[in-house]
Chains A and B, each alone.
Chain A
Amino acid sequence: QVQLQESGPGLVKPSQTLSLTCTVSGGSISSGSYYWTWIRQPAGKGLEWIGRIYPSGSTNYNPSLKSRVTISADMPKNQFSLKLSSVTAADTAVYYCARGAGIQPWFLPDVWGKGTTVTVSS
């Protein structure tokens, strides 16, 4: 059974780059059957889809975040990562990684990590 675990700094200073890693166990991110996805949730608010990566390296991003987001994958380590640049307090949230399953172009998030809280503050 696939499991995902987010990791990274819990505190990031404004204007810096937020970097998170998702480690996948119980399955290979290079299998070609799934997209690997990032989603966030500010405290007390709804979910926001950030973007995803396919094993081929192809990425898709939320248009509202596209200029600041980079999602990459490290196949040997079975990890994928999120970088969000020029952060502000509005980027404070719980960040989830998830597996995207299904068919093109859908690949809905079906298995989620437990989430990690990132606070943007000086």
Chain B
Amino acid sequence: QSALTQPRSVSGSPGQSVTISCTGTSSDVGGYNYVSWYQQHPGKAPKLMIYDVSKRPSGVPDRFSASKSGNTASLTISGLQAEDEADYYCCSYAGSYTLVFGGGTKLTVL
């Protein structure tokens, strides 16, 4: 069970859009529609932003959207705001009743 692959960092200016990828295999991301995304600010616990590939929990702005194609899931943040600067992690069901996280992506708002 290997960690999902995410870019170490991405950046964008306020108002722009950024996309964070999360690449796994057919045994995890590609095999199930069970992908979630988390936002983590420094020193804080992760916060659920997306579940079941593309669903937003109540209270999450619709600027956050997500999708999946094959073995790669993607999180897009549109209309970037300063408070979006954080680390983002994907998570997938990995079979055999286990879960696996991505290595995390640091989003910098320029």
Contacts and interface: CB of A to CB of B under 8 A. Distances in A.
A27 B71 CA distance: 36
A112 B93 CA distance: 18
Interface residues of B, number: 26
A110 B36 CA distance: 9
B97 A105 contact: yes
Interface in B58-110: 89, 91, 93, 96-104
A48 to B, nearest CB: 7
B9 to A, nearest CB: 13
Interface of A: 39, 45-49, 60-64, 96, 102, 105-106, 108-115
7 contacts: A46-B3, A49-B100, A96-B46, A102-B34, A102-B52, A109-B91, A112-B45
Contact of A63 (B1, B34, B47): B1
10 tightest A-B CB contacts, nearest first: A60-B97, A112-B45, A47-B101, A46-B104, A46-B103, A49-B99, A106-B34, A108-B36, A110-B48, A105-B97
